[in-house]
Amino acid sequence: MVRHLEFREGRWHLINASQLDPVVASDTTPLLASSEDVRHVPQRSRAGSVATDANEGDTTMVETGLSPWRWWALLVFSVVATYMNVAWISYSTIVDEATDYYSVSSGQIQLLIAVCSAIFIPAVFVINPLSDRFGLRVGVILSTALIMVGSVCRWLGGSSYVWCFVGQALNGMAGPIICNAPAQLASEWFPIEHRATATAIAWSSQSVGVAAAYLLVPYTVGASRDLAAFNAWMAYVSFGVMALSCTFPRPPRLPASYSAAFEKEGFFVGAKALWGNRSYKCLALAWAFTTGTLVGVSSFLNIYMSTGNLDGRFSTEKIGWVGFVGNVINLFGVIALPTAVDALGAQRHMKWISIPFFFLSAIGTVGFGFTVTYAPPGTSIWLITAPYLLTSLLYGAVTPLCFELGAELVFPVAEETSSGWINLTYMVINVVAIVVYNHLSTEIALFGSGVVVLLCSVLLMAVGNDHRRYDLDRAGLSPTPDGRTLKRIQ
C-alpha cells in the first residue's frame, strides 16, 4: 500500500494521490526506495524515516508491505528468549542439588536468579541504546553472544560459585533485548491486526523457557545430582542458539504499517516523554509491581512447597511439575488473550480487559497463601497449588496487552523504549521482592503479594484510554509538532 503525505502547518498530512499536482506528484520522493540497496540501510533510518522537521510543502509517500521473513524473525527471537530463560531460572528448580555442588547456602543459590534481574538494571542503559542505533538484528545477535559466553563460564568454571555467578550475570545482560523487544519486533514486522498476537508469541517464549527449566532441569540433574554434565549440556546448546541467531533477518524493506514509518524516539530521548505521561506511569507501576511480586513468588515456589506446614511432603520433581504446569498455563494465557483481542478487533479496550485479570490475580495469590498455610495432611499437591496456577494464567495473559498499551500511550516513542522502562521498573521491584522474601515467612510473603496486586488493579483504573498508534493507523491521525498529541488529518 502506498500513502502520500504532505508537510504543512508543522506536521505530516495524509493526502490522496489525486489531490497532488501532477508535477508535484512526479517529483515526490518515495520514503523507501525499491532497490535492494535499501536492505543495507540501518533499521532506524528506514523504518522510521517520516521526520517531523521537514520543510513546509514537502511531499513524500509511504509504501507499506509485509515481509515473508517476519515469521522467521519471530521464530529466531523466540528460540533465543526460550534458552535465556532456561539458563536464568534453572538453579531455582534444583536448589538442594546446586547448594551441594557449589558448597554454598540456599540463599546464595537464589542470588544466582536475582543477579540476572539486578544486572538487567545497568545493562539496559547500554544494550537498548545499541539496539536503537544498530537495529534489532544486532541486538539479538549481541544478546545471544552474551548468553553463550555465560553458559561457557558456568561449564568451564566447574564447581566454582564465582564463575557460575559471572555466567548468570552475563545471561542477565541479554535481558534488555529479550524482555524489551517483543513489541518492537511486532511493530516493525507485523500489521496492526497481528501486533498484539506477535508481541504475545515473542513474550510467551520466556514462559516456554521457564516451563522447560521446571520440567527438564530436575530430571536432567535428578538422582545423579550431576551439575557438571548439566552445565556442559547447556553450553553445547548455546552454540546452536548462537548460530541460529545469526540468521535473524535484516530489517524489512517496507514498514508493516503507517505508524512503523514514523521517526521514533529512542531510549534516552523518549524517557522524558514516558515519565511525563501520567497514564504511562500508572500502567508501568501497576504491571511492574504485579509482575515483580508474582515472579518473586514463583522463584520461591520450591521453598514455599517444602517448608513449614508442607515440610517433607513433596519431592523436588513433584514441585518441578507444578512449576512446569504453571508456566504452560501462563503460556496459554499469554497467547490466547492477545490473540482474541486481535481477532475481535478489541485493541482499544485493552485497559478494561486487563483490570479484572489483575483483580483475580490478587485473589489467587491470597488463596495460595491460605492453601499453603492451612492445607491438612494428605491434601493433593494440585489442590494446594490450584490458586497459584490460576494466578499464573491470569497475570500472564495481560502482559502483552500492557506492553502494547504502553506503546499506544506514548507513541511516537519507540516500542522498545516504552517496554524497556516498564521492564526496568519491574526488574528493580523484582530484585527488592526477592531480597525481602528471603526474610519473610511464607504466609506474610503470599498474603502481602496479594494485597500489592489488588492495589495495582486499582491503580490500573487511572490509566487513560489513549491509543495514538492505533488511531494513526486506523483513522488517519498524525502527530503534532511536539510529538505528544495527535490531530485528525483533514
Cα distance between residue 139 and residue 159, in whole Å: 31
Angle at 331 between CA 289 and CA 248, to 5 degrees: 100
Q: Is the sign of the CA dihedral 31, 35, 36, 38 positive or negative? A: negative
Query: Are 290 and 364 spatial neighbours (Cβ–Cβ below 8 Å)?
Result: no
Calculate the CA 407 to chain-centre distance: 13
Q: For residue 312, which phi and psi values (nearest 5 degrees)?
A: 80, 0
Which candidate, 348, 478, 477, places its Cα nearest to that of 404?
348
What pLDDT, on a 0 to 100 scale, did the predictor assign at position 156?
92
What pLDDT, on a 0 to 100 scale, did the predictor assign at position 56?
52
What pLDDT, on a 0 to 100 scale, did the predictor assign at position 482?
43
In order of 50, 230, 322, 394, 395, the CA distances from 453 in angstroms are: 40, 36, 22, 12, 10
Cα distance between residue 478 and residue 473, in whole Å: 9
Query: Are 93 and 323 spatial neighbours (Cβ–Cβ below 8 Å)?
Result: yes
Q: For residue 215, which phi and psi values (nearest 5 degrees)?
A: -85, -50
Q: Which three cell numbers stand for residue 362?
A: 490478587
What pLDDT, on a 0 to 100 scale, did the predictor assign at position 95?
79
By CB atoms closer than 10 A (0-12, 13-18, 19+), residue 249 is middle
In order of 193, 317, 356, 449, 455, the CA distances from 289 in angstroms are: 29, 30, 16, 9, 9
Cα distance between residue 295 and residue 179, in whole Å: 14
Strands 59-63, 29-30: pairing is parallel
Compute the residue count for the chain. 490
pTM: predicted TM-score of the whole model, two decimal places: 0.76
Neighbours of 141 (CB within 10 A): 18
Strand partners, 486: 479
Strands 477-479, 2-8: pairing is unpaired
Q: Which three cell numbers stand for residue 184?
A: 518492537
Q: Which three cell numbers stand for residue 277?
A: 505521561
Number of alpha carbons in the 13 Å side-chain half-sphere of residue 185: 32
By CB atoms closer than 10 A (0-12, 13-18, 19+), residue 21 is exposed
Cα distance between residue 267 and residue 76, in whole Å: 24
Cα distance between residue 471 and residue 478, in whole Å: 9
Cα distance between residue 73 and residue 101, in whole Å: 38
In order of 42, 44, 142, 177, 429, the CA distances from 248 in angstroms are: 15, 16, 12, 14, 32
Cα distance between residue 489 and residue 19, in whole Å: 14
Angle at 202 between CA 281 and CA 395, to 5 degrees: 50
Mean pLDDT of successive 10-residue stretches along the chain, which has 490 residues = 48 46 34 30 37 49 77 95 89 82 84 81 86 87 94 91 92 88 90 90 87 80 77 92 95 81 78 86 92 81 73 74 83 91 89 93 90 84 90 89 91 86 85 80 85 92 86 58 40
What pLDDT, on a 0 to 100 scale, did the predictor assign at position 216?
81
Neighbours of 33 (CB within 10 A): 13
